[in-house]
Amino acid sequence: MPEFHTPPISPMAIAFDAEKLTLSPEGPTLTRRMSDLEGLFLDAEAWAEASAGENPVVYTVVSSPVPEADRELPQSITTIMPGDTGGELWMTKGHQHPNHQGEIYLALQGRGGLLMFDGERTEWLDMLPGTIGYIPPGWAHRSVNTGDEPYAFLAVYPGGAGHDYGWVLEHGMGSRAYRAASGVDLRPYAE
Ligand SMILES: [Fe+2]
């Protein structure tokens, strides 16, 4: 039997419901409201107005109990509500893994996009149910709801990867995604 500094958790079955968007047993859950997304939308005035008003839920994250610890492989389901702020589509905060490691997203419901930025290059993947988006090590990543229904995806990621949200505030994401008559309008990040 291999030896570990921190013993991994025991093998376990996790019930995954792609329709109800649940993982069972359930681990930590997270709710991000508009006020949690400070400094991320280009239209700061529209953001402030929405935050001070209804302060809507922009996205939620439910996780399995697999811990965010080195060598473990946690999973989570993120659901982004449809909407835009100053025309910019609702999205996750976006983050970089400080300990550069890859990750996969599997689209479950709705229509979305996976925006990635390595500090120089920008990539956009259309995400429809069944699409696996691969995030290579070193690429910051943000998910965007491009449709009129909630957009949900399953993430599977190295537990030791970490989440650096400040990286996006400092470096941006290369592009911003705006609502367009057909699909999405990607514009330069511009601050
Ligand atoms: Fe990640």
- What is the per-residue pLDDT for 135? 98
For the chain, the domains span 59-183
- What is the per-residue pLDDT for 2? 78
How far apart, in whole angstroms, are the C-alpha atoms of residue 124 and residue 57? 24
Ligand 1: distance of its center to the CA of 56 in Å? 23
Amino acid identity for residue 26 in this structure: E
**Is-contact 170 189, C-beta < 8 A?**
no
Ligand 1: distance of its center to the CA of 97 in Å? 6
- What is the per-residue pLDDT for 8? 86
Residue 110: half-sphere exposure toward Cβ, Cα within 13 Å: 21
- What is the per-residue pLDDT for 112? 98
Asked if the model's pLDDT at residue 94 lies above 80, the reply is yes
Ligand 1: distance of its center to the CA of 164 in Å? 9
- What is the per-residue pLDDT for 4? 80
Mean pLDDT of the 65-83 span = 96
- Poorest-confidence range of 4-13, 50-59, 108-117? 4-13
Ligand 1: distance of its center to the CA of 1 in Å? 30
Q: In this prediction, what percent of the chain has a pLDDT beyond 90?
A: 92
| Local structure of residue 10 (DSSP, 8 states) | P
Question: For the domain with range 59-183, which CATH number is right: 3.30.420.240, 2.60.120.10, 2.40.240.10, 3.40.50.740?
Answer: 2.60.120.10
